[in-house]
Structure formats: structure tokens, C-alpha cells
A = this chain, B = another copy of it.
């Protein structure tokens, strides 16, 4: 085998159009040439985020953008509610603690969506909660949290801060319409770019709150960035080549049509779930699965890490592992970004072969057949 397949939930494969755009002649970031590109990118991002407000571009990973959402909105000691149903929920907690907030840990069983009633309950118990911090798609468990419903609770209450790292551009999450106050993502998922850019969009009431937020920030000062980015550059040197690439990827997304992008992700996810189920496997998040990736429990007694090593070293396919309590027990198959029907077929065929290799009884083609039934939908 010589051909590599990257089927993990980030980094994701880069379209050639994007790779080539990143190799364009370097230009200075304080020139009319760069400003023009940057304004185009800003427009495209607003469309993907579903907002009329500024989407701030940072030279950082998505975690940097998460930190920016915290340090620009809060003051030391303020109480926030954290939905903690996976590794990225934990990350909100860790950021809150690192900066001296008072985070309430709302534990959610891994693989389950948060119950809106549990949030309501916490809001009643603690009248001084300033914000709720949550993932739209909890990548570690491949679970989708009910952001639209949570937004109804927070519209006139605490701020709604959403990690949209495997959500923005994956599924329609219209920020302004729903009432999300801070929406964060990174470049290496649905945006079809290498890692290295973080994005944060704030609502009007969130922008207003930045004025009284006292947590220290300098590199991630969103007001300073906004002032500069509205003029077409950044407060500090932006990651120029990645922004060239971003222009190209936004053009690809616009050409496909955002609704088609969302439908493609949903269809690939559904096909993957159908295939796994047909193979007798159990899903990590059957109740509310994310369209970005599908977590699957490996059969009892089969070490998921050995399976993943086999995929990676013998088939050159990179899936993602289960983390922490899922370690060795689950694998995650991504379908986010520059991926299509036959990436699902590839993933499922590999899964069938891998399962048999490690001793499971598998009827070759059974999972693929179930996937094809779903993938055929648009071709009938």
C-alpha cells in the first residue's frame, strides 16, 4: 500500500487548490493587496458562521481561540457553567481554572448530549452564573450537544460560549439566529486547511462585555484585533499563507454551496453509522451523534489501539483513537472537510478487513453495502 488516507477529525485532507494557494508568492500583510484578500475572507467567514458581526482570525490553534473567548469576556472569580462530557469539555474547565474563574463542572456521561433540564437546574441553583461553556460537537465522544435548545435558555440570561471546532462549516449553526454569544473554531476541520488559524466570532452583547472583562490578555486581545482586522490586516503579523489557503477553501465551499456541504457531512455520517450498525458494532453516541465523526466501540476483547496501529501501519489509514476512559476501547472515523462518499467506503472496507484480521466474524461487504444504500440517495 502506498496511498495515505487521513480520516481523523483534524487535521483533515487539504484540497490541491488550497495547497497551491498557500504556495502563492508571499506578500506583506500591510498592503492593499493583502487587505483585499483579507476582506474577502472576512465576508466568507461571516457566511459560514451565520453572523453579521466580525469573525476574528487568529494565528493559533482552536485552543488559542477558546482561550481568547474566555479571557476577553470574563473577570477573575466569575462563575461559569461548563458542560463537561468529553476531552474538550474538560478543556473549557482547564482554561477557566487556569485564568482564575469559578467554573461549575456539569458532568455529562461520555457519549450523551447534555440534558437541557440539567442546565436549567444549575441556572436556578446559581443565580450568578455569567455564561455557559459548551461544545457543539464534542469531538472526543462524537456527540452533538443541543445548542439551539440551550440558546433558548440563554437568550436573555448568561452568555452562550460554544466551541464549534468540529461544528462550524460541518452543520448549519446559524450563530445570530440562534443567539450564540461566542463561537470558536480552528482551520483544520471543515475549513479544509492545515492547522494554524483560530477563529472567534462574538455577538453584540459579548462585544459589549469585553469592555468590562478584566482577565489579562495581549496576544489574544480581540478588541485590538477587531480594530485592525476591520482595516484589513491584524494587530500582529497574520499567518499570510494560511489566509491565502482560507480564501481558496471558502471559494470551494461557496462553489459547492453551504447547504450541500452540510448535507454531505450529514450523509457521510449517517452512512458510517449505518455501516457500523450493519457490522454489529455499537456507536459511542447513538442518541445525538455529531456529523463530523463517528465513534465506534470495538468488540469486547479487541484492543482498539492495536486495530488503529494496523490501519495506520499496514493500510496507511489514520483514524482517531479513543481518549482517556475510551482508550483501547473505541475508534473514531471522521467525515469532515474535504471528504466524500468514497472516503466512507474506504473507511468501512478497511474496518471490515481490520475486524476480521483481529478475529471478529465479519461478512465482507456487509458494512459497505449499508453505507452504499445511504450514499446512493443523491444519485437516484
Contact = CB atoms under 8 A, between A and B. Distances in A.
Interface in A1-47: 4, 6, 8, 10-14, 19-20, 22-23, 25-29, 31
Given A59-B195, A94-B218, A195-B238, A19 B28 contact: no
Nearest to A188: B237
B10 A27 contact: no
Nearest to A318: B28
Contacts of A6: 25-28
Given A11-B26, A23-B19, A26-B194, A186 B218 contact: no
Contacts of A196: 59, 196, 239-242
B63 A219 contact: yes
Interface in A78-103: 94-95, 98-100
Nearest to A58: B60
Contact of A219 (B8, B19, B67, B312): B67
Interface residues of A, number: 52
Contacts of A239: 61, 194-196, 239, 242
A318 B27 contact: yes
Nearest to A22: B22
A364 interface: no
A236 B13 contact: no
Q: Which of A4, A22, A62 has the most CB of B within 10 A?
A: A22
Given A31-B318, A215-B216, 9 more contacts: A22-B23, A59-B61, A59-B64, A59-B196, A98-B216, A98-B218, A98-B221, A99-B216, A239-B239
Contacts of A217: 98
Nearest to A4: B25
B219 A64 contact: yes
Q: Which 10 A-B pairs have the closest CB atoms?
A: A196-B239, A194-B241, A19-B23, A98-B218, A63-B236, A195-B237, A64-B219, A61-B236, A28-B318, A67-B219
Contacts of A94: 218
